Amino acid sequence: MGFSVSGHAGAGPFGKDIVCAAVSSALMLTANTITDFLYAPADIKEKGNKIMLVLKDPDSAMAIAAKQIIASFHNHLTLLSEDYKGKIRITVRDMKGR
């Protein structure tokens, strides 16, 4: 279980895109909460404009809490996508094959 975020929203000039800022802020809060407060082991990869977080032990007690935080992140992005139609695309898929 995990998530991947990539791209740019295109809702404004680089550095002034409120949609990109909202997604980036939510992403950082989610990743930092999972790794720095829950101490859930996770692989985090960043390459260009793509960031991916995958829980290493998805059945551990901390990973169960992390899954709830990831679900909250998904809900937040869903609300943003409704407010900024066409600027955020959410795709849910199996991450086993990464």
Parse the chain into domains and list their residue ranges: 2-83
Mean pLDDT for the chain overall? 88
What is the token pair recorded at 96? Answer: 């086993």
Model pLDDT for residues 31-60, shown as the tens digit of each residue = 999 999 999 999 999 998 899 999 999 888
- Identify the residue with better confidence: 43 or 87: 43
What is the token pair recorded at 22? Answer: 């909202």
Q: Is 2-83 CATH 3.40.50.2300?
A: no
Spatial CB neighbours of 76, under 8 Å, sequence gap ≥ 6: 26
CA dihedral 21, 25, 27, 30 (to 10 degrees): -170
- Indicate the pTM of the whole model: 0.85
**CB count in 10 Å sphere of residue 98:** 10
How confident is the model at residue 97, as a pLDDT? 52
